[in-house]
């Protein structure tokens, strides 16, 4: 960490914040300390606090600490700075409700609720649920203030894909929370570090350090922050030193106005490990320099040496200041052993006017023993291992994470070291890899620095995939090539996308992981049916995952040949059973976009397929072979499913003759079959449109349905008299229905009791339908003379006739059989007719 000498005078001169209620002797042992020594002493003081449950923060702690002083029922949200009811907790991530937000994102080092840092009172704040999602696990830094980058809900807050910038009033609060976290959690178990760059999404680090220093200085501790700090101390019994002593930020992390040197050791390991005599190993780091007033001198003792260009090495190096407030330098460090069995260490010191920074490097002479990956997997985290293997991942899930396998076991190689980048490895490379072991959320990797990768051969044969069941997958197969047979996708029919899916076999279920939105499977339809899937096993915490390189890793299992069955036999099957039929399309396209009715002489059914082989292109007269799964849809028997197979054998075939039946006979025996009804009529009048109508033969009635707006009956006049109808029978939750295929299916339309009859609203009937008394109102001129009122069956048979001399009359129809009738009012000058439904 920082080794600051010139700030000691400033430290002694600064005074503790006046309003802090710091217990006597709380910070004993800090006098005169700066840099790493002060940081470690503070860590000793504030560690070991009282741990609360995560639920406590929902139920008690945050509602208390962040209570709206003007409304005790409300809580004030950190980023959004608005007041909402405490009861509006986002248990289901409801928008505009609040939840518990980790200022230092939990994914950066402490993802488990059991981790002490997960429930640290100084790190948890109430946040709008949507804003919390927007913040995610981003680093903190300044973001360009544009409309595109405006967060949207939180005022004066800006964000992009990498960084989060809160409003000015809390920037210092945020910075001091993060300084606390980097000081409180500094141990072998959890070491949180602030870095001067964007951090890795799951590494125990967070950026951007220099920005946080500036925020701290620009937004000093205020009364509100101090009062909340006292409340937090009351719950957890430890304090945030940087609220009590803001000057300690400069003493440990540096100043935003004075010279400040920050080393970025990303992809740099101060321990060079073993290097053979006569060989050397080079690593590089970045030095960030702020507010320089002079050059930077860098020095190290042999057998280490330094370079600013990667070519010329010496024990000292001068980095020239250009007068800018911010500069960045790349420094290479070479370790070249000078003798056998050497154990070397040295201090790399950076010095400039007003600041120094140093760290130790070590290395040893020797050769690394090549071991099997199985042996390497038994080593402790952090140990340097030297293994060989074949790259079995193509990089389609992650360009940087490459899985290697040597026949004994597998592991992941992840390297960003210059000249040894893992992203350059390709499927089939045979490699040797030397580097430190790390555990990334339970996945074993060679990660960190230094890593040395040598490619021995390319395009070698891939190892044999090990046949396993899902139940067998566990630690023994992590990072190994496997094939799982007879697997189905739970999400069949959806599209592959970046994320998790579920596969199943007879033994259980497993996560199928697409690790990149550029993966070749993205956008492809998730297949149905059984597949053998070959890939490699990853792990994320307790979940194992199967990765594949591409489409060819999904191998369709040949389905057993399904024999032809008659449709009559198929209609006896249970839902989900597979069936294969052959028949002729007899209808459907004018009544449904996707439903087609197929008949084979024994019975009929509906074919419906929206993926794969589509049913929509089928037309009347097509001879087809169809294979699918039986489905009962509201009583209508269908062949459907995600993988329906449809083959058109030929077209324009002669249709079977329709079966002459009556409405009384319509039922399951005629579902999806052609029928012919004689002497029927429709109770409604006017023009046809999409919808349902009442079809009757005078005694019984059934629904007549037009299923689409494009049916050629739409817009034509409903026949006023009786007619013959050819069509097919369907079924819905309301009962059986009859469909006409085209307008030509209505024939033999009869005249309606005289061509002079006028069918309009000038004769009004109420109620209609009726059961007993009917009120009939006629035009005024009908009151001037006698007229004849006649009631006819639809067949034309007269069943009632009387003369009247009144514009409005009442007629008792309670003795008339239920059905549809024509009511006729006939005078010397005019005839009016209208349908009357009696029930």
**What is the 3-state secondary structure of 387-407?**
EEEEECCCCCCCCCCEEEECC
**What does the block give as tokens for 538?**
């990853």
**Can you tell me the mean pLDDT for 686-712?**
93
pLDDT for res 835: 87
Pairing of strands 543-547, 508-514: parallel
Residue at token pair 């039946």: 661
Q: How many CB atoms lie within 10 A of CB 222?
A: 13
pLDDT for res 721: 82
Q: What is this structure's pTM?
A: 0.58
Alpha-carbon span 208 to 194, nearest angstrom: 7
The CATH number that domain 373-457 falls under is 2.40.50.140
Torsion angle (degrees, nearest 10) of CA 173, 176, 180, 183: 160
Alpha-carbon span 537 to 175, nearest angstrom: 40
**What does the block give as tokens for 809?**
């009359």
Q: How many CB atoms lie within 10 A of CB 33?
A: 18
The lowest-confidence range among 41-55, 642-656, 787-801 is: 787-801
pLDDT for res 761: 65
DSSP secondary structure code for residue 470 in this structure: G
pLDDT for res 9: 31
759 pLDDT tier (thresholds 50, 70, 90): low
Residues 6+ apart with CB under 8 A from 329: 286, 287, 289, 296, 308, 319
What's the chain's average pLDDT?
A: 92
- SS3 state of residue 170: helix
- SS3 state of residue 736: strand
The answer to whether residues 226 and 21 touch, using CB atoms and an 8 Å cutoff, is no
The lowest-confidence range among 65-79, 245-259, 728-742, 779-793 is: 779-793
Residue at token pair 């002669």: 654
The CATH number that domain 659-748 falls under is 2.40.50.140
pLDDT for res 822: 84
**What does the block give as tokens for 424?**
């350059």
751 pLDDT tier (thresholds 50, 70, 90): low
708 pLDDT tier (thresholds 50, 70, 90): very high
Alpha-carbon span 457 to 696, nearest angstrom: 83
The answer to whether residues 131 and 151 touch, using CB atoms and an 8 Å cutoff, is yes
The lowest-confidence range among 132-146, 476-490, 808-822 is: 808-822
For residue 234, report the phi and psi dihedrals to the nearest 5 degrees.
Answer: -65, -35
560 vs 11 pLDDT, higher one: 560
pLDDT for res 589: 86
Helices 168-184 + 223-236 axis angle, to 10 = 30
Pairing of strands 636-650, 604-607: parallel
Identify the architecture of domain 567-650 in CATH. Answer: Beta Barrel (2.40)
DSSP secondary structure code for residue 658 in this structure: P
Alpha-carbon span 71 to 83, nearest angstrom: 9
Sheet strand arrangement including 831-838: 757-758, 831-838, 819-826, 787-793, 798-804
752 pLDDT tier (thresholds 50, 70, 90): low
Alpha-carbon span 204 to 193, nearest angstrom: 7
Alpha-carbon span 389 to 411, nearest angstrom: 9
Closest CA to 159 of 181, 130, 182, 180: 130
Examine domains 373-457 and 567-650 and report if their fold is the same: yes
For residue 452, report the phi and psi dihedrals to the nearest 5 degrees.
Answer: -120, 125
Would you call the peptide bond into 134 cis, given omega within 30 degrees of 0 as the criterion?
no
Alpha-carbon span 267 to 415, nearest angstrom: 8
Closest CA to 449 of 428, 435, 432, 463: 435
> Which pLDDT tens digit goes with each residue over 209-259?
999 999 999 999 999 999 999 999 999 999 999 999 999 999 999 999 999
**What does the block give as tokens for 322?**
């250009």
DSSP secondary structure code for residue 285 in this structure: E
Helix and strand numbers, DSSP H then E, in the chain: 12, 53
pLDDT for res 189: 86
Alpha-carbon span 698 to 701, nearest angstrom: 8
**Can you tell me the mean pLDDT for 146-152?**
96
The CATH number that domain 466-556 falls under is 2.40.50.200
Alpha-carbon span 726 to 747, nearest angstrom: 8
The answer to whether residues 546 and 535 touch, using CB atoms and an 8 Å cutoff, is yes
809 vs 184 pLDDT, higher one: 184
Closest CA to 661 of 680, 643, 647: 680
Length of the chain: 839
Domain range annotation of the chain: 35-251, 260-365, 373-457, 466-556, 567-650, 659-748, 764-838
20 pLDDT more than 70: no
**Can you tell me the mean pLDDT for 186-204?**
88
The lowest-confidence range among 209-223, 278-292, 661-675, 710-724 is: 710-724
Alpha-carbon span 825 to 310, nearest angstrom: 109
Alpha-carbon span 518 to 538, nearest angstrom: 19
Rg of the chain over Cα atoms, rounded to whole angstroms, equals: 41
pLDDT for res 14: 36
Alpha-carbon span 581 to 591, nearest angstrom: 23
10 pLDDT tier (thresholds 50, 70, 90): very low
> Which pLDDT tens digit goes with each residue over 416-466?
888 899 999 999 999 999 999 999 889 999 998 899 999 999 999 999 999
pLDDT for res 93: 76
559 pLDDT tier (thresholds 50, 70, 90): confident
Q: What's the fold here for domain 764-838?
A: Immunoglobulin-like (2.60.40)
The answer to whether residues 446 and 377 touch, using CB atoms and an 8 Å cutoff, is no
The answer to whether residues 671 and 731 touch, using CB atoms and an 8 Å cutoff, is yes
Domain 260-365 homologous superfamily, CATH: Immunoglobulins (2.60.40.10)
pLDDT for res 201: 65
Alpha-carbon span 662 to 683, nearest angstrom: 17
Please report which helix (H) or strand (E) contains residue 819, including its range: strand 819-826
pLDDT for res 632: 94
**Can you tell me the mean pLDDT for 706-720?**
91
pLDDT for res 580: 95
> Which pLDDT tens digit goes with each residue over 279-308?
999 999 999 999 999 999 999 999 999 999
Percentage of the chain beyond pLDDT 90 is 79
803 pLDDT tier (thresholds 50, 70, 90): confident
**Can you tell me the mean pLDDT for 617-645?**
94
Alpha-carbon span 286 to 644, nearest angstrom: 60
Percentage of the chain beyond pLDDT 70 is 96
Burial of 547 (0-12, 13-18, 19+ CB in 10 A): buried
The answer to whether residues 352 and 261 touch, using CB atoms and an 8 Å cutoff, is yes
- Calculate the alpha carbon distances from 271 to 101, 302, 314, 563, 664 in Å: 36, 15, 19, 69, 92
**What does the block give as tokens for 699?**
């005694």
785 pLDDT tier (thresholds 50, 70, 90): confident
pLDDT for res 686: 87
Residues 6+ apart with CB under 8 A from 334: 280, 281, 282, 304, 305, 306, 307, 313
19 pLDDT tier (thresholds 50, 70, 90): very low
Torsion angle (degrees, nearest 10) of CA 577, 583, 586, 589: 60
Alpha-carbon span 364 to 541, nearest angstrom: 35
Closest CA to 61 of 22, 32, 89: 89
């Amino acid at each position: 960490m920082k080794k600051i000498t010139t700030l000691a005078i400033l430290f002694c001169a600064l005074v503790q914040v006046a309003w802090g209620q710091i217990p006597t002797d709380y910070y004993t042992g800090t006098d005169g300390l700066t840099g790493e020594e002060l940081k470690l002493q503070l860590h000793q003081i504030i560690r070991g606090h009282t741990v609360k449950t995560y639920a406590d923060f929902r139920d008690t702690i945050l509602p208390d600490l962040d209570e709206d002083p003007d409304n005790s029922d409300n809580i004030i949200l950190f980023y959004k700075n608005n007041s909402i009811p405490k009861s509006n907790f986002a248990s289901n991530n409801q928008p505009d409700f609040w939840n518990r937000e980790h200022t230092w994102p939990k994914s950066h080092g402490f993802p488990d609720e059991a981790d002490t840092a997960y429930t640290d009172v100084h790190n948890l704040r109430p946040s709008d649920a949507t804003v919390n999602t927007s913040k995610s696990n981003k680093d903190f830094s300044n973001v360009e203030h544009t409309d595109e980058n405006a967060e949207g809900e939180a005022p004066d807050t800006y964000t992009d894909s990498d960084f989060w910038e809160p409003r000015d009033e809390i920037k210092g609060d945020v910075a001091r929370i993060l300084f606390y976290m980097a000081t409180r959690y500094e141990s072998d178990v959890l070491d949180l570090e602030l870095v001067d760059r964007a951090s890795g999404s799951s590494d125990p680090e967070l950026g951007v350090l220099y920005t946080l220093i500036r925020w701290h200085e620009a937004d000093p501790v205020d009364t509100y922050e101090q009062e909340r700090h006292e409340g937090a101390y009351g719950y957890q019994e430890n304090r945030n030193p940087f609220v009590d002593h803001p000057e300690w930020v400069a003493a440990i992390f540096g100043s935003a106005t004075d010279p400040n040197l920050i080393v970025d050791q990303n992809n740099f390991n101060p321990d060079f490990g073993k290097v053979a005599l006569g060989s050397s190993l080079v690593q590089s780091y970045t030095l960030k320099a702020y507010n320089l007033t002079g050059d930077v001198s860098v020095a190290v003792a042999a057998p280490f040496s330094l370079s600013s260009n990667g070519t010329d090495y010496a024990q000292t190096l001068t980095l020239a200041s250009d007068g800018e407030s911010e500069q960045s330098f790349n420094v290479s460090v070479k370790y070249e052993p000078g003798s056998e069995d050497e154990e070397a260490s040295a201090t790399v010191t950076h010095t400039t006017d007003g600041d120094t920074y140093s760290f130790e490097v070590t290395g040893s002479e020797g050769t690394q023993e090549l071991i099997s990956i199985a042996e390497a997997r038994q080593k402790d985290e952090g140990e340097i291992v030297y293994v060989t293997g074949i790259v079995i991942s193509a990089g389609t899930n992650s360009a940087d994470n490459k899985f290697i396998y040597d026949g004994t076991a597998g592991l992941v190689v992840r390297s960003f070291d210059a000249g040894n980048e893992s992203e350059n490895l390709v499927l089939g490379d045979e490699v040797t890899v030397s580097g430190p072991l790390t555990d990334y959320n339970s996945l074993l990797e060679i990660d960190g620095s230094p890593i040395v990768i040598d490619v021995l051969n390319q395009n070698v044969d891939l190892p044999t995939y090990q046949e396993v069941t899902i139940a067998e997958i566990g630690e023994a197969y992590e990072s190994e090539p496997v094939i799982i047979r007879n697997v189905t996708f739970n999400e069949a029919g959806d599209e592959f996308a970046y994320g998790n899916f579920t596969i199943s076999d007879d033994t259980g279920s497993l996560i199928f992981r697409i690790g990149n939105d550029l993966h070749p499977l993205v956008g492809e339809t998730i297949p149905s049916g059984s597949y053998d899937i070959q890939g490699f096993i990853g792990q994320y915490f307790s979940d194992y995952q199967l990765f594949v390189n591409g489409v060819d890793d999904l191998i369709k299992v040949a389905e057993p040949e399904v024999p032809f069955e008659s449709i009559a036999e198929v209609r006896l099957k249970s839902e989900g059973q597979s069936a294969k039929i052959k028949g002729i399309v007899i209808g459907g396209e004018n009544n449904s976009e996707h439903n087609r009715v197929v008949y084979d002489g024994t019975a009929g059914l509906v074919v419906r397929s929206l993926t794969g082989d589509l049913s929509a292109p089928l037309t009347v007269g097509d001879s087809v072979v169809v294979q699918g799964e039986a489905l009962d849809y509201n009583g209508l028997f269908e062949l459907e499913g995600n993988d329906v197979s449809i083959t058109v054998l030929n077209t324009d075939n002669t249709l079977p003759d329709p079966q002459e039946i009556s409405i009384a006979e319509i039922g399951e025996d005629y579902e999806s079959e052609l029928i012919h009804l004689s002497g029927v009529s429709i109770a409604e009048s006017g023009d046809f449109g999409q919808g349902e109508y009442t079809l009757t033969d005078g005694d019984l009635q059934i629904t007549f349905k037009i299923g689409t707006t494009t049916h050629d009956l739409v817009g034509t006049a409903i026949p006023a008299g009786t007619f013959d109808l050819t069509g097919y029978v369907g079924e819905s939750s309301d009962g059986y229905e009859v469909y006409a295929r085209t307008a030509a299916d209505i024939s033999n339309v009869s005249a309606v009791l005289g061509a002079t009859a006028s069918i309009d609203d000038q004769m009004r009937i109420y109620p209609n339908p009726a059961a007993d008394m009917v009120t009939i109102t006629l035009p005024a001129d009908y009151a001037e003379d006698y007229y004849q009122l006649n009631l006819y069956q639809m067949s034309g048979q007269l069943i009632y006739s009387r003369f009247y001399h009144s514009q409005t009359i009442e007629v008792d129809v309670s003795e008339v059989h239920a059905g549809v009738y024509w009511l006729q009012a006939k005078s010397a000058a005019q005839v009016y007719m209208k349908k009357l439904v009696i029930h």
